[in-house]
A and B are shown apart, each in its own frame.
Chain A
Amino acid sequence: MTPRLTAGFALVTTALLLAAPLAIPQQPAGSEPSRVVGPSRGRALAGEVLAARTEEVAGLLRCPVCQGLSVADSPATMAVNMKAQVKELLAQGYDQEQILAYFEHSYGEFVRLEPPLRGVNWLVWLGPVLALAAGGAVVAWTLRSRRRAAAEEPVVPLPGLGPGPDMLPDDPELARHVRRVRELAYGWPDGRPPGSSS
């Protein structure tokens, strides 16, 4: 092949490849999808891109028969047919939103696996976030109030003793014994805590 022939061939091939996506997709006259969602807005897809996008878009639709599965995953015949139609619509150049809207027109909002952001659906999307934030706030508030309560309480270094500045039992005999024990146990002179007045 001469250099000129090669160049010419390459030019023609490139031109065809570039022109292909611009080809206006053919839709059957008066087709139901175009009646519902209008003329196709996107690019007609083909080949591997078409297969990949079919999986993606079908993955956003709920199978009406096996309602826990997406149309991409469900083995039900209805799902297989729906997936085939998704592929057809993508090949005709409909974009994702148009395709989802078309199925929603027939089946209702339920057929979308990701509920669209309108009305009550905001609650579905924001609810968990709000609940987490609310829970976090409750935890923080509880911790703070507990800390505050602990700070306000009088510090009782020796629990179980009677009230009073020297924290001794009222009975003098008992008080004498307690002071003796403190002297021995803690090394407090005369059994009184260090720093307290006698």
Chain B
Amino acid sequence: MSEAGVREHKPRPLNQRVLLVGLAVVAPLVAVLTMNLGRNPHVIGSPLVGRAAPDFSLRPLDGGEPVTLASLRGRPVVINFWATWCVPCFQEHALLVSTARSLAERARFIGVIYEDSEEQVRGFLARQGSAYPSLVDPGSRTAIAFGIFGVPETFFIDAEGRIAAKHVGPLDAQSLEAKLRQAGLAP
């Protein structure tokens, strides 16, 4: 008596060619995914590190002669792009001020105001204290030249005017010290 309706399924042999083609298509995709899934797309690697820092000539908030990068040559310079509406900028402000004071002439600290009103900045600095000039950047031309895509971003420039390091996000004491060393701050 035949077993009507019941077919035996022979296991089909593995088609090597299909497997190979499939792997050839999938492997690069998996490679790209594994390399990039962990990365934060907003942290764009800066091509400026190692290059000469963009020149600028910006008016300080409190008035006076425009500050140029050329005038700061000869010692490490820390350029901190910040704004009063930025919470991480607020978090790192005290550290920047105290470090600037303690380093005195060994390094120059400069703040560049990013998309903020001068009034707000004055009020903030009056309340939180300041130890170095903050410069006004109309139209964010200098921010664009430095490749800023958010605040805070801090650039560490060596005595020859080359960008030695960049820090995205609020600074902590360790990073600040390490990057100052990279910019040539003598211990």
Q: Is B147 an interface residue, CB under 8 A from the partner?
A: yes
Q: Is A178 an interface residue, CB under 8 A from the partner?
A: no
Are B47 and A107 in touch, CB under 8 angstroms? yes
Please tell me the size bucket of the interface on B: 20 to 34
Q: Is B146 an interface residue, CB under 8 A from the partner?
A: yes
Interface residues of B in 132-160 (CB under 8 A from A): 139-141, 143-150
Are A105 and B47 in touch, CB under 8 angstroms? yes
Q: Is A84 an interface residue, CB under 8 A from the partner?
A: yes
Interface residues of A in 85-103 (CB under 8 A from B): 85, 103
Q: Is B46 an interface residue, CB under 8 A from the partner?
A: yes
Contact with A along B88-101 (1 / 0, CB 8 A): 00000000000000
The segment from A3-11, A75-83, A165-173, A190-198 that touches chain B is A75-83
A82 to B142 Cα, complex, angstroms: 11
Q: Is A67 an interface residue, CB under 8 A from the partner?
A: yes
B147: A residues at CB distance < 8 A: 64, 106-108
A65: B residues at CB distance < 8 A: 149-150
- With A32-B54, A107-B44, A108-B47 as contacts: A78 and B140 at CB distance below 8 Å: yes
Are A138 and B21 in touch, CB under 8 angstroms? yes
- Main DSSP-derived SS at the A contact region: helix
Partner of A103, one of B41, B44, B143, B144: B144
Partner of A106, one of B21, B55, B145: B145
- Main DSSP-derived SS at the B contact region: loop
Contact with B along A149-169 (1 / 0, CB 8 A): 000000000000000000000
A105 to B146 Cα, complex, angstroms: 9
Are A108 and B144 in touch, CB under 8 angstroms? no
CB proximity of B118 to chain A, nearest CB, Å: 16
A106 to B146 Cα, complex, angstroms: 6
Interface residues of B in 16-30 (CB under 8 A from A): 21
Q: List 11 A-B contacts (CB under 8 A).
A: A32-B141, A32-B145, A35-B54, A64-B147, A67-B41, A78-B115, A78-B143, A78-B144, A81-B141, A106-B48, A108-B44
Report B's interface with A, CB cutoff 8 A: 21, 41-42, 44-48, 54-56, 115, 139-141, 143-150
Assuming A35-B55, A81-B140, what are 14 further A-B pairs, CB within 8 angstroms?
Answer: A32-B145, A64-B147, A64-B148, A64-B149, A78-B115, A78-B140, A78-B148, A81-B115, A106-B54, A107-B47, A107-B149, A108-B44, A108-B147, A110-B44
